[in-house]
Structure 1
Amino acid sequence: MASPSLIVSLVLLSLLSLSTALPSHNILNAAEILSDSGYVSMALTLEVVSQSLAPKSPSLTIFAPPDSTFKRMGQPSLSLLQFHFAPLALPLQTLKSLPAGTKIPTLLSGHSLVVTAPSSDSTISLNNVKITTGSPIYDDGFLIILGVENFFDPNYQAPAPIRVPLPDPVCGSSSSANDTSTIGFPGASWFEGARGVLRSNGYAVMASFLDLQLVGFKNPSMLTVFAPLDQAMENPLQDPSIFLQHVVPCRLSWYDLVNFSEGTLLPTYMEGFTIRISRSGDVLLLNGVPVYHANMYYSDSFVVHGLRESLVVPAETQEEAADKSSQEGAGSEANNESFLMDDDNEF
């Protein structure tokens, strides 16, 4: 009879084969380190799933309970396993930046983890389960594994957070967002910390944009950058405006983003281009693109979030624009016909 750990591994294989694009050697390296660190059950799990990974998600954070919990609980259900996998890169530094009440999406549809310890507390907890490792068990920038003291409870009900609403509009006037006159770029020091973080996580193109300072912003006091992965940026130097549509003229942390209502529009420095907030289950989407590295870099005035793809006008918006254009065209033709008929009557 197969051991409980092997059964868990086989169940988890079916889960991750549909959800991750992480290279198998990353998984094998992580499994070896997990085993050496005393997390044998999770190590066996990862060794099995590494053989059959499909290209779906480029980053993952795994919250690994200890072997004693696996033995006590027996075979975890598929849904319980899904609850321990977040489709985001969440280093400890990022988790420490999240205030209590912040939601973190998981692979269990419709279920999020909730930060339950304040960022000022030295102990980080999710759903009232403590993260037990003072540093990641494994972290290569895309796959991060953190130890937790127990399995999470999917039925945990977090108290409603005290939310101070952002002003409306959330990022000031659209006129200030669209003003890109080059009269004083914030300067190299403004982005000094962010550039190294971007390059080390696969965002060298956006880091180069900050280095080159291709276009200035008028007296910025706060900025948020949504950075696409390098492979998602095609010929960026031929169209520098692509950078402007990824920069928002205010500071928006992950906590701010997940608390925006469905359909919220964020202005950008690209005139006429807005970013629409939506969700697929609990996964936050920006113009249909998921954020998968939240709070990659943050300071009092500047935040960077990592994206899988470049931001474009959402398909539904394009369709609506086409419909509107068609309706306007039909209306124009009708007006022309009416005008011609009036002219005929005059003669």
Structure 2
Amino acid sequence: MASPSITVFSLLLLLLPLSSALPSHSVLNAAEILADSGFLSMALTLEVVSQSLVPKSPSLTIFAPPDSAFKRAGQPSLSLLQLHFAPLALPLQTLTSLPAGTKIPTLQSGNSLVVTSPPSGAEISLNGVRVTTAASPIYDDGFLIILGVEDFFDPKFQFQAAAPPRIPAPGQKCGSDSSNGTGFPGASWFQGAKGAMRSNGYTVMASLLDLQLMGFKNPPTSLTVFAPVDQSVENPLLDPSVFLRHVVPCRLAWSDLVNLTEGTALPTYLDGFTIRISRSGDVLLLNGAPVYFANMYYGDSVVVHGLQESLVMPEEAAAGESSPEEGGSDSLDDESEF
């Protein structure tokens, strides 16, 4: 059983890029836990490729088939193995919240996984393959998440899509479909969103949410917060536009974002600043920044997605440096239309 696997692992080592943003200790710890959990073939994969898994992403979700699946498949191809690696963190609570038809990017160029979980929520499945560790992950340190699946994914899987969700038209203000006319969302989502951000390393945006959100002239009924990780935010107190340019006036879950067309422009609370949708292969980009933690918080009125980078002003992007003065006159009290 070991020989075919070792051949594939050697091929992976030669062909995958030779750099990775994943912490090396995460990979080593995960390989040990995989082996102890009975996933010896996937453990060998991690040990061999080590830091050559994901060259541009600091996070990774691995869907690990059991050893019996490796034995049945014989010698899995490189592309088949890449279909089991998603370049973003997908905790179980995120996967549970995704409706059927949601696409998940993978390392296999041009091929995504599709959520096929039944409406009952009794299980999680992707490409028709059940996630066997739906109660708890095999490994999860915040950067690297490993979940067991009952078999290899079929790269030719076809999903019969339902009607597409409503999405905002380019250049227009988002609607508020989740609004019930009661005004500002309740305290439960407010505390829940802040708690999710603080516990995952997004304390700056949590603090800005706490300080500024109540300043809206006309309280919003739904929001999407694209929260940059703390290390990427410079001088938040000197630049009030940091919060404004990372918040969209409508609720956009991950399933909505992945169905947005290339070039869609999402309006923000910073006048004139939009978030433009693009893709690099199957990876969704917001003004060039990949989503790092999809559906970090998921509620009826508000969704929070984590970013590894801050969304910068056009002048900052062109100059390659931060300009705290830009957008300094915009505030929730003075300029917001909402």
- Above 0.5 in TM-score? yes
Map of 1:88 onto structure 2? 88
Shift of 1:269: 0.5
Structure 1 counterpart of 2:159: 158
- Residue by residue over 1:52-72, the C-alpha shift from the partner in whole angstroms, topping out at 9 and shown as x without a partner, is 678521100000000111112
Question: Hey, what does 2:326 align to over in structure 1?
Answer: none
Compared CA separation, residues 193 and 52, structure 1 to 2 (3 A): same
Q: Are 2:49 and 1:49 equivalent residues in the alignment?
A: yes
- SS at 1:110 equivalent: coil
User: Are the aligned partners of 2:185 and 2:301 in contact in 1 as well (CA < 8 Å)?
Assistant: no
CA distance in 2 between partners of 1:171 and 1:53 (Å): 37
Q: What does 1:45-84 correspond to in 2, within 5 Å?
A: 45-50=45-50, 56-84=56-84
Q: Structure 1 or 2: larger helix share?
A: 1
Instruction: Give the deviation of 1:264 after TM superposition.
Output: 1.1
- Distance, in Å, in 2 between the alignment partners of 1:54 and 1:285 is 16
Could you tell me whether the CA contact under 8 Å between 1:21 and 1:54 is conserved in 2? yes
Whether contact under 8 Å (1:278, 1:288) holds in the other structure is: yes
Report if aligned partners of 1:105, 1:113 keep a CA contact under 8 Å in 2: yes
Matched to 1:5, the amino acid is S
Give SS of 2:215's match. Answer: coil
What residue in structure 2 maps to residue 259 of structure 1? 259
What amino acid is aligned across from residue 37 of structure 2 in structure 1? S
Q: Which residue of 2 aligns with 1:282?
A: 282
| Deviations 1:261-290, CA, capped at 9 Å, x for gaps | 111111101111011111222211111111
1:138 matches 2:139 = yes
| 1:2-56 CA-partner distances (Å, limit 9, x unpaired) | 7233233333334654563111111111111111110011111112222667852
Matched residues, percent identical? 75
Change (3 A) 1:117 1:271: same
CA distance, structure 2, for counterparts of residue 100 and residue 308 of structure 1: 27
Q: Distance in 2 between matches of 1:32 and 1:10?
A: 19
1:9–1:114: structure 2 CA closer, same or farther, 3 Å change rule?
same
In structure 2, what is the Cα distance between the partners aligned to 1:63 and 1:214?
A: 38
Equivalent residue for 2:247?
A: 247
Which is worse superposed, 197-206 or 62-71?
A: 197-206
| Distance of 1:31 and 1:222 partners within structure 2 | 41
**Distance in 1 (alpha carbons) for counterparts of 2:121 and 2:15:** 33
Are the equivalent residues in 2 in contact too, given 1:97–1:119 (CA < 8 A)?
Answer: no
- Counterpart secondary structure, 1:275: strand
How far is the alpha carbon of 1:256 from its aligned partner?
A: 0.8
| Residues 54 and 262 (structure 1), Cα distance of their counterparts in 2 relative to 1, 3 Å cut | closer
Q: What is the CA–CA distance in structure 1 between the aligned matches of 2:290 and 2:92, rounded to whole Å?
A: 20
Q: Which stretch has the larger CA shift, 267-276 or 286-295?
A: 286-295
Normalising by structure 1, report the TM-score.
0.81
Residues 205, 227 of structure 2: 8 Å contact kept: yes
Distance 1:234 1:121 in 2: 41
* Matched-pair contact (CA < 8 Å) for 1:9–1:44: yes
**Which amino acid in structure 1 is aligned with residue 81 of structure 2?**
L
- The Cα offsets for residues 100-125 of structure 1, whole Å up to 9 and x where unpaired, read as 11111111111110011235321111
TM-score normalized by structure 2?
0.83
> What secondary structure is seen at the aligned counterpart in 2 of 1:236?
coil
Relative to structure 1, the CA distance from residue 119 to residue 289 in structure 2 (aligned partners, 3 Å threshold; closer, same or farther) is farther
- 1:171 equivalent in alignment to 2:193: no
In 2, Cα distance between equivalents of 1:305 and 1:89: 11
Aligned mates of 1:94, 1:226 — CA distance in 2: 15
| Larger CA deviation: 19-28 vs 52-61 | 52-61
What's the counterpart of residue 299 of structure 1?
Answer: 299
Task: Kindly indicate whether the alpha-carbon contact (under 8 Å) linking 1:185 and 1:213 is maintained by their aligned counterparts in 2.
Answer: no
- Higher RCO, Cα 8 Å, sep 6+: 2
Structure 1 residue 190: Cα displacement: 3.8
Specify whether residues 235 and 187 from structure 1 end up closer, same or farther in structure 2 by C-alpha distance, changes over 3 A only: farther
Matched position secondary structure for 1:38: coil
Q: Is the 8 A contact 2:89 2:293 kept in 1?
A: yes
Q: Distance in 1 between matches of 2:113 and 2:19?
A: 18
Q: Once the two structures are superposed, what CA deviation does each residue of 1:132-188 show, in whole Å capped at 9, x if it has no partner?
A: 112110011111000001111111111122224346546149xxxxxxxxxx98686
Does residue 105 (structure 1) correspond to residue 105 (structure 2)? The answer is: yes
Unaligned stretches of 5+ residues in structure 1 = 174-183, 320-347
Report SS of the residue matched to 1:199.
helix
Query: Does the residue aligned with 2:159 lie in a helix, a strand or coil?
Result: coil
| Paired residues for 1:155-234 under 5 Å | 155-166=156-167, 168=169, 169=172, 171-172=174-175, 189-213=188-212, 216-217=215-216, 218-234=218-234
